[in-house]
Every structure is written in C-alpha cells, then in structure tokens.
Chains A and B, each alone.
Chain A
C-alpha cells in the first residue's frame, strides 16, 4: 500500500467538467438585471497634458447613463505601497498610448462606443521617452514629477568581494544581452462586474460586490477600499473562473477600479470587458531588459564572481517594478554556489504601458543572459556545459551569499535526468549540420517569504467545516486560475482526513466567505495555502480522532485515517463488505438507494446498532464525524501559514525580495535546428526536469512544466511586443505570434521529487521555475547547431541571419537602419524618441524624395 491514498495520483481537476462543458462561469459570462456596459476612452498620445475635456455631447446621447472622469475618484493607488502612482482615470496627464482618460456607461456596448467618439479631449503633447537608457537622461518633462531622471528605483548590491572574485578568475566573459518585451496574453480578456447594494439604514449606496478576473481578490479589495474611500468590510470581491493569468491579473488592473467607480456614479451594476487590444495596452508583462553581465570562472569551471547591471524598461507606472528589479538581482543566487555577486539594477520609467509581474517574475531575462554566458565559459575552458553546471552546485542546507536559505535542492538530479533522457552525452556534437543541443538550468521561489504589504499576518488562512452529512467544506482565499489550486486544496484536505476526494467541496476566493489569502502569484499557493489547508484539516481531525478514540477504546494518536475509514495504526486497513462499501461511497450514484436520501436516519440506526456491539475495531469516516459532532456540534477548523523568520532573507536594503521558504529547480535540454539560409529556428524537443518537492497531482505538475517551457519557447522564438513611437505595432494574438500547435515542440516533462522539509507533503512550486531555462537552452542549442551566440531575444530569423552574417563576414549588418524613410537616423526597433534632435530622417536609397534636383521628368505627370 502506498504511503498516500489521494496525493501523488494523476487527478482530473475538480472543476474540469465545468470547463469542458462550458457550464463554468467566467466574469464575462455573468450578468445582472439592469446591468450597464462600460467602455473606456484611451489616450492616443504617449505623453500629454489634458488641457480640456468636454463630455457633454456624450452624456446627451440616448442610452448613455454616465460618463466617468478622473475627478470622480482622484485617490492614487498602485499594487505596491511604494508605488501609488496610478489613478482610476487620468487627472491631468496621460503617460502612454492606451492610458485611461474617461469611461462611458451605457445600456449597450454599441452606444457606449458611439459615445466615446463624442467626448472632446484636448491634449498638449509632451516629449516622450521610449528607450530606458535615453529616458534616464531626462531633465525635463518627467513622466512622474517625483521621479528624477525617470528612475523608478535603483539598487546597488555587493555580496562577498566581487572584485577579488574577478581577480581570482582564470577566464572572464562580458557581454550585453537584451531580452525584448513580452506579455501574458491570457486567453480570457480582463473583465470586471461591479454592483452596489442599497443600504437599508441610510437608503443610499451601501455595500459593493465586485466579480473580477483576478489572481489577487484580497489586494483588489484593499485597493478598491483605498480609491473608493470605503471600508474593506463594505467590499466583497468574488473571483469566478479565471481564464489564465500568468501574472497579468496579479495586480489591480485599471478596469477593475473603473468599473466600481462607474457603478457608483451610474448607480447601477456595470460590467467592463477589455477587447484583446485593450488587454495588450493594460499589459503588466515582462519588461524589455538590458543586461550587462560579466562572469569569471576558474579553470575547473568554478564560478568566482558575477557582476550584473540590469536596466528594465518599466513603462509609465511603477506596478510591481520595484519587486521585478529586485528579483532580477536576488535570483542570481540560490541556483548555483556563487561566492561573489555585484548587482546594479535600474527600473526606468518610459511612455509605454506599465510592465509588471509575469511568469518567472524578474528572473527570466537575467537567467537567459547568465546561462548563455555560462555556456560560453564552458566552451572557453573546453568543458561540457552540463558539467560546468554540476561543478557549481550548492551544498544545502545553506544560506547563499545574498541571504537566501536553500533546503531541498533537486538540481543535481534534474541535470542528471535531463542529460540522460536527452542522450546528451551520446548525441551532442554528433548531430547533422545545423542541428544542436543546448542545456540550461533555472529555479524559482515557492512564494515570496515577505508579503508586498508588510504585516505580520499569515500569508494564507484556510477554514474547514464538516457537518453531520460528512461533507468536508474547505474555505480558502487561494485563487484558482487554471493552475489547479482548488484541486490541490481538495487533495490535501482529503489526504489529511483520510476521506475520498468526492467528499470535499472547495469554496474559494470570495472575500466575504473565505479567509485572507494574498493570492495566486509568485507560485505560492501549493506551498502556503497547501500548508494552511493541511493545518486546518489537522485541526478538525484532532477532534474527530478524539471522539473516535473514545468509541474505539484507544488513544487518539493510535488512529489512522484512510479511504473513508478510521482504524488502529499498525492493523491492516479493514476490508469493507460490498454492501457497506456501497453505503459509504458517496461517488456512486447507486448508493442513494441504500441510504443517501435518508442518510441521517440510516446512519443513526447504524450507529445505534454499532453502539450495542461495544467498542469497535474500526469506524467509517462518517461514523467518526457523527461521533465528534455529538460532542462539539458542527466541526470547524482553521489553519494558517506564515513563512518562518529564518527564510525571510538578509537585512540589506531590498533584501525582502527573493527569499522564499523553498525553491524549485529545473534543468532542460533543447534540441533545435537552424536553417542557415532563412535564419529560421525550429525547436524539435525539450527535455525538462523539474524539482517540485513532491508532485501532489502529477498530471497538473506535468501540465505546468510543459506550459512553462512552451511559454519560454514563445519568448525565445517569436513573441515580442514591437513598439514604434509608443505605439504597439502588434496588439493581436496572431500579430503577437503566440505559438500555435504546429509551431509547438514536444516537451518531455521529468518530475524530480526532493521532498522539501517544510512544504505540504514535501511539495514546492512547479508553475514558473521551468520557464527561465528554456530561453537559454534554446540559445545554447543554436550555438551548438551553427556556432553563433544570440544576445537578443526573441531569436527571430532576422536576428539569427544577422548573427550568421556577422560570423561569416565578421561585420554585423544592421537590417533596420535607414530602411524606413520616416525613421530618425538612429532608428530603433523599440522606438526612437519624439524629442529627437538629429539631422533629420535619412532617406532610403530608393526613396523618390531623396533625389536632390526637382524632377523635371516627373513634372509632366
């Protein structure tokens, strides 16, 4: 008999049928009587002052109920306490194309859209900044007046003695890497429905209920309270099904606040759903990152020192920016044993949509640079790239030089397995021309050890209720966003209580019903909400065990709970006769005949019968529950989780970001081929080994690993937000080039279980850690295939070709220079600058306007 009866088995998600039948409700599927539709007017300019706004014509349009503007809710907010720089709607300035200016509330979407065109806004256009390095030089026309040099935040960390480390190094490589901007593009566009109740005592608008596609109901409740100036107790946030988040719904998105403000002004329920284009503008994705990285190693491959200077193009608002720039530095540690680290991070404001948290928050782009550079160093010293990684392993339990505590560490096994499964040793270097293998590793936190809102409250609390019906109801604030959070909760509860999964119902993410959980982000749910669920279940189980022990004449500690039975430990689990089994089996439809309908009576008489029999050898779960309820009434229990103080990191400034109670580990091998004529890269297969502590639900763990690798591959090959003068040039699913099934390689997930001492049943995260390794694994495989190192992602055919040409002719070809006749002399793919002061656009050789003399021949036309 295996140690566990529920966990460790591939389990269909508890909400799978809702999803496959279309019966499940996402926010946009909800409607209320008298509901109005809101549409937002967005800024057409990247940086401008609003000099005049007149909405009177819009207000007069038949069917328009209200037009909401900035002054309707002027309080600033932001996800981080240090970054309250956003307003529901612009007060005086707009800071990116797509910034929120006004909102029309009308009886239909079509009328609201028509009304948007009737709002008269006058802008005074200001110089705008699109490139972070140029933005940092700004003296005037700052994006936010309180941020000189458009610098959101900079951090300068030195751990160990980086200079000494470089002095000891026998080989060094230094290079600049650029990872371009990507976004979540979750399939479900953001949506919020807000509705006020009338207060029976005052007769005015009272409590507010908000249904929203959010990963963080509690933070949303908190920010709504701030902006609407209402107590949190008067706000209820309900999270229906969420169609994917990846971090894009892990903070308060403008429409969530706007819908509530609009519902207040219109005095009716208001729903706002973003169009796909608006989702791209709302963004909050992974920033374009410039990484200047230097790494030193000894001849034996040991890393002596790392120096990274990271500049992130953060967009127009702070968002999670301060956290992102800190993660980029902090997660240089905890993967390998690096004795000396210097980190200089700059989070810069630009006139583009704000960047925020995205799967693998902060670590992905730096990991791309680091793992690519490590590969280069391995080549330099003639070492197998897998081996150089094995030479630099940590020796846990330990605390890294930057204060991160590492306990369980499955990286060695991840490398071993992925090398073995991919045939790395036999196949590498022996593949046909243009085909190659690359390896890379990554890791990620299992939840941040410090909450973004500093307080001593637990990060997760879970309540549990069991009543006479024997049903287990778990109340958790954890947010199911497709990752399997509800299923994990049900599994953990059922495993601890020894009952069947079908008994457990999970009520989640409703701030009126469920205790606070800080949300689904930083891969924290399994570790933290899982631990809280375990504790809640143990709390209830204690009371069931005490009652059962009395009936069974033994000590409570001697009881085992399993498969809906309670029996003495050490004895074999009782074999239940078929008719009894049917009576107990709540999953069986046929069971209703034998006692489901009249359960109470039957169970009561069964109990009476058993009472007469004297002390029992075993009891059913229901009997034990009823015995406990006879003592206590309905059973309730609470469990909570707060990360231990020793896992909360160093004392240095910014030391709060990066620490986690546990880290997941990943090692990957990618096999690619490169077409040297077209520059096209094809990924054939990725072997991904991931240390998730313990796989509570293997099918979900594999799904998360594959999904992460796939998203990493998207960023590596095709996905990129292309900007021109602050305008997003590819705001559509096809234009953004999210890979389809024909472009997606086979991914072989390999689960590694290191059994973490503090995780629930030893579990850690599995949803983000694998993403970061995929990009460098592909980059390194490209090098193996054709001998070029790509320093800028995504590795589009243009970039690959440019690198191949540079290798052949030892001269880089700038493909974009001077091609666009309207482009400034220094054309940048990511926007030049509107405050351009050069000698004017350089014309393309074939551009007719370039001809100097007036065209006599042309005059005849």
Chain B
C-alpha cells in the first residue's frame, strides 16, 4: 500500500510521518515514534494494554487508524509524567502495588487519567466500571483501587495547597 504523509500530535509534539493508510495508531507509536510504553496485549480491543488518550478520551490504539487521528491531541503514557517527575497516579501505582509485571499498567493509567479528568471523586463502583475496559492478570485489581484512592487524595491535597 502506498504511504501517505500525515501529521500526528503526540504528547504535545508534532510529527510528520509517512505511513500506510491502514497503519494502526499503536504500531505507529511503537515502531515509528519509538513510544513503546503503549503495549500490544491482543489485537482486538479486548485487553486495553494499548490505551492512549485521543483528545482526552481513553481509546484503544490497537484498533485505531493512525491517519484518522490527525489534528487530534494524542497522549501516551510517556506524556503523563509531570515536569520530569512521576504523576500522582504513577507514584501511587508503585507505592500501593498497583503494578506487578507492569505490562498492563500504562493502559490502566491512561484509563484512570481519563476517569479522574471526567470525575474527580469517583465512587468505588465508578472506578470498577471505568477499569473494566482493561485487563490485568497479576493484581486482581484490588491494589489498584487503593492506588487510585491515594492518587485522588494526593491530587486533592495538591489542589488545595495550590489555592
């Protein structure tokens, strides 16, 4: 298939790339841009390891055409850190055992970021419902809830101290 020139805005940087129209966003991120934080756990949007944000919405990049994401803001796990340090949710995932093997973690963190942006104080049921798009085989999810709680608290404290 003939390649086309596209412009993708990933983590605030614009990249001009020649890609096949059928290229999937996940492959472009991993292979063309070297952003290997988004993982391939399946090929069919069933595991969520490839979750990224497109204009703030959590999307599974394994079934998204890269060419269709032009003029949209794509955020990957590599764009989550704040000013060179861990974001609250990243720190909390480490502290509370939310990540074991870590393969699903970037996808989960992208999903949680979307949830927290939409709903700053979700109930446990809302957290569970939001997380159900992603699969994890290590943790049984329990320690993730604690991590998310703690990240929300940290963000609230951060927000109130900033006032």
Cα separation A22 to B26 with both chains bound (whole Å)? 14
A22 to chain B: closest residue by CB: B37
Neighbouring A residues of B141 by C-beta, 8 Å: 710, 741, 744
Neighbouring B residues of A246 by C-beta, 8 Å: 137
B128 interfacial by beta-carbon distance below 8 Å: yes
Q: CB distance B99 to A13 under 8 Å?
A: yes
Min CB distance B108 to A, Å, is 9
Q: Which of A21, A24, A276 contacts B42 (CB 8 A)?
A: A276
B119 interfacial by beta-carbon distance below 8 Å: no
B36 to chain A: closest residue by CB: A29
A25 interfacial by beta-carbon distance below 8 Å: yes
Q: CB distance B136 to A187 under 8 Å?
A: yes
Min CB distance B154 to A, Å, is 14
Q: Which of A237-245, A374-382, A642-650 contacts B (4 or more CB under 8 A)?
A: A237-245
Neighbouring A residues of B103 by C-beta, 8 Å: 26, 186-188, 241, 243-244, 482
A733 interfacial by beta-carbon distance below 8 Å: yes
Neighbouring B residues of A28 by C-beta, 8 Å: 36, 39-40
Q: Which of A286-294, A696-704, A852-860 contacts B (4 or more CB under 8 A)?
A: A696-704
Neighbouring B residues of A741 by C-beta, 8 Å: 127-129, 131-132, 134, 141, 144
Neighbouring A residues of B61 by C-beta, 8 Å: none
Evaluate whether A740 and B99 lie within 8 angstroms (CB atoms) in the complex, with A22-B106, A706-B140 already known.
Answer: no
Q: CB distance B139 to A703 under 8 Å?
A: yes
Min CB distance A708 to B, Å, is 8
Q: Which of B2-10, B73-81, B155-163 contacts A (4 or more CB under 8 A)?
A: B73-81
Chain A contacts with B in 60-118, Cβ cutoff 8 A? none
Evaluate whether A244 and B37 lie within 8 angstroms (CB atoms) in the complex, with A20-B94, A734-B46, A742-B132 already known.
Answer: no
Min CB distance B27 to A, Å, is 9
Interface string of B53-87 (1 = CB under 8 A from A): 00000000000000000000000111011000010
Q: Which of A700, A742, A746 contacts B97 (CB 8 A)?
A: A700
Min CB distance A41 to B, Å, is 18
Min CB distance B120 to A, Å, is 20
Q: CB distance B97 to A24 under 8 Å?
A: no
B47 interfacial by beta-carbon distance below 8 Å: yes
Q: Which of A19, A21, A24, A484 contacts B81 (CB 8 A)?
A: A21
Neighbouring B residues of A20 by C-beta, 8 Å: 86, 89-91, 93-94, 99, 102, 105-106, 109
Could you say which interface size class chain B belongs to?
35 or more
Neighbouring B residues of A707 by C-beta, 8 Å: 100, 138-140
Q: CB distance A699 to B132 under 8 Å?
A: no
B14 interfacial by beta-carbon distance below 8 Å: no
Of B78, B80, B94, B109, chain A has the most CB atoms within 10 Å of the CB of B94
Number of interface residues of A (CB under 8 A): 55
Evaluate whether A18 and B132 lie within 8 angstroms (CB atoms) in the complex, with A244-B138, A741-B141 already known.
Answer: no
B92 to chain A: closest residue by CB: A20
Evaluate whether A187 and B49 lie within 8 angstroms (CB atoms) in the complex, with A20-B105, A22-B77, A738-B137 already known.
Answer: yes
Cα separation A188 to B43 with both chains bound (whole Å)? 12
Neighbouring B residues of A732 by C-beta, 8 Å: 42, 44, 46
Q: CB distance B90 to A482 under 8 Å?
A: no
Neighbouring B residues of A252 by C-beta, 8 Å: none
Q: CB distance B104 to A22 under 8 Å?
A: no
Cα separation A747 to B109 with both chains bound (whole Å)? 22
Neighbouring A residues of B46 by C-beta, 8 Å: 732-734
Neighbouring A residues of B76 by C-beta, 8 Å: 22
Q: CB distance B96 to A699 under 8 Å?
A: yes
Q: CB distance A742 to B102 under 8 Å?
A: no
A15 interfacial by beta-carbon distance below 8 Å: yes
Q: CB distance A15 to B102 under 8 Å?
A: yes
Given A16-B94, A733-B135: 9 more A-B contacts, CB < 8 Å: A25-B36, A187-B101, A187-B104, A244-B100, A481-B101, A482-B101, A699-B95, A703-B139, A709-B140
19 examples of A-B residue contacts, CB within 8 angstroms: A13-B99, A19-B93, A20-B86, A21-B37, A28-B40, A184-B137, A186-B137, A187-B39, A188-B41, A241-B102, A243-B41, A275-B43, A702-B143, A703-B97, A703-B143, A707-B140, A732-B44, A742-B128, A744-B140
**Contact surface of A with B, Cβ cutoff 8 Å:** 10, 12-13, 15-26, 28-29, 184-189, 241-246, 273, 275-276, 481-484, 699-700, 702-703, 706-707, 709-711, 732-734, 738, 740-742, 744, 746-747
